[in-house]
């Protein structure tokens, strides 16, 4: 039989769109054909979200094609999960007994942090094969006393990982970052030989994990025109080019520094398999231009696609590429595309790792 990895999916902030996205995505049979999913969260919150969005739109059918209802299976251990289509397995943490939709609080921040902590522990113990995270509120987790900038930093801390980076992906466009959640002034200072080389290696290994045999890595410049031979800055000459040269000597097909204003169109056209971006917005903007589609007529998002993967960890972590969308919580209207993307990425990475 085909290997079906166990994928732990955190519920995200209980007051956000995360609970309903879990319900909607896992009411699709295709995921049970390719993996064994389990939600890490609180069954009371899942029940509340299900009541809010209703069973009608889930399109669940029994073997006799008679409409049936989604069954919630509350467990305290992964081994007790059924992993059957039509049954939603929830590892019940018993933290958030209630949540006000759209309201940021220390209580929901504590719950969402504990879900992440638990899914990491399960992966580190080998009880699950991959982790997928729904969005958390940075404000809420900090109100709860957990001083982290986001998921990436939590994962790095709890897995004791020193060398890591964020990768964003939408279809075949992939970007990995030299720095993320720092000021732009700090980001420029962080463009150093050792870090650039480290991220090139992470980018290369990520593509290999995704099944790309000989990845072509583009390394973006930091400055306009990649510094124009030092006229607009010397970071390319002093730090980036030496890192590219070293990567090439290791057998990595790395190219650059490619001017930031042209590297992404090239990557989108298939010229490169992945781009090393020098800072947060340099990588995020082109990815979200591709994956986030706004419908002018409806004044609403038609699609919010993409996936966030943390590279360098001893475990697999993929995530939605959007925030908590508190204003849409418990309404059943939020786009589930990004969570679908994240689960699909986690499955691919787990199967290649296996």
Ranges of each domain in the chain? 6-161+313-353, 165-288
Query: Which residues on adjacent β-strands are paired with residue 320?
Result: 307
| Residue 1 burial (CB count, 10 A) | 3
Q: For the sheet containing 307-311, what is the strand order?
A: 71-75, 87-92, 36-41, 6-10, 130-133, 317-320, 307-311, 165-170, 173-177, 274-277, 216-220, 253-258
Q: Domain 6-161+313-353 class?
A: alpha beta
State the pLDDT at residue 150: 86
**DSSP 8-state class, residue 181:** S
pLDDT given at position 302: 61
Residue 65 pLDDT greater than 90, yes or no: no
**What local confidence, expressed as pLDDT, does residue 68 receive?**
62
- CB of 250 within 8 A of CB of 213? no
**304: pLDDT strictly greater than 80:** no
The three-class DSSP label of residue 320 is: strand
Under the banding of pLDDT at 50, 70 and 90, the label for residue 334 is: confident
Q: What fold characterizes domain 165-288?
A: Isopropylmalate Dehydrogenase (3.40.718)
Q: β-pairing, 253-258 with 71-75?
A: unpaired
* Tokens coding 129: 């094969």
Confidence of residue 64 (pLDDT cuts 50, 70, 90): very low
What number of other Cβ atoms are within 10 A of residue 229's Cβ?
10
Residue 346 and residue 348: Cα distance in Å, rounded? 6
CA 59 – CA 73 distance, rounded (Å) = 19
Region for 228 from its dihedrals, namely left if φ exceeds 0, alpha if ψ lies in -120 to 50, beta otherwise: left
Equal fold, 6-161+313-353 vs 165-288: yes
Q: What pLDDT does residue 2 have?
A: 81
pLDDT at 229 > cutoff 50:
yes
| Cβ pair 205, 250 in contact under 8 A | no
State mean pLDDT over 88-112. 93
- On whether the pTM is more than 0.85, the answer is yes
As beta bridge partners, residue 131 has 8, 317
């Amino acid at each position: 039989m085909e290997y079906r990895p166990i994928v732990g999916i955190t519920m995200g902030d209980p007051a956000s769109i995360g609970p309903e996205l879990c319900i909607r995505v896992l009411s699709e049979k295709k995921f049970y054909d390719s993996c064994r999913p389990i939600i890490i969260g609180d069954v009371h919150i899942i029940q509340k979200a299900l009541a809010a969005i209703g069973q009608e739109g889930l399109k669940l059918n029994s073997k006799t094609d008679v409409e049936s209802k989604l069954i919630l299976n509350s467990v305290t251990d992964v081994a007790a999960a059924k992993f059957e289509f039509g049954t939603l397995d929830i590892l019940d943490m018993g933290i958030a007994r209630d949540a006000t939709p759209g309201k940021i609080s220390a209580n929901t921040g504590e719950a969402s942090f504990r879900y992440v902590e638990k899914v990491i522990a399960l992966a580190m113990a080998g009880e699950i094969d991959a982790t997928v995270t729904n969005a958390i509120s940075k404000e809420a987790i900090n109100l709860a006393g957990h001083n982290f900038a986001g998921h990436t930093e939590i994962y790095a801390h709890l897995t004791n990982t020193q060398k890591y980076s964020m990768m964003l992906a939408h279809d075949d466009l992939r970007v990995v970052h030299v720095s993320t959640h720092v000021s732009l002034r700090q980001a420029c200072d962080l463009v150093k030989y050792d870090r650039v080389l480290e991220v090139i290696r992470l980018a290369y290994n990520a593509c290999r994990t995704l099944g790309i045999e000989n990845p072509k890595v583009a390394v973006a410049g930091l400055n306009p025109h990649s510094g124009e031979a030092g006229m607009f800055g010397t970071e390319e000459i002093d730090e980036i080019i030496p890192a590219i040269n070293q990567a090439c000597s290791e057998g990595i097909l790395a190219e650059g520094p490619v001017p930031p204003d042209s590297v992404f169109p090239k990557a989108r056209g298939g010229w490169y398999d992945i781009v090393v971006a020098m800072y947060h917005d340099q990588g995020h903007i082109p990815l979200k231009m591709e994956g986030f589609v706004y419908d002018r007529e409806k004044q609403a998002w038609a699609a919010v696609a993409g996936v966030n993967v943390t590279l360098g960890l001893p475990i697999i972590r993929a995530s939605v590429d959007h925030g908590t969308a508190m204003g849409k919580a418990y309404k059943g209207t939020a786009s589930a595309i990004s969570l679908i993307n994240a689960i699909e990425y986690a499955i691919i990475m787990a199967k290649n790792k296996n």
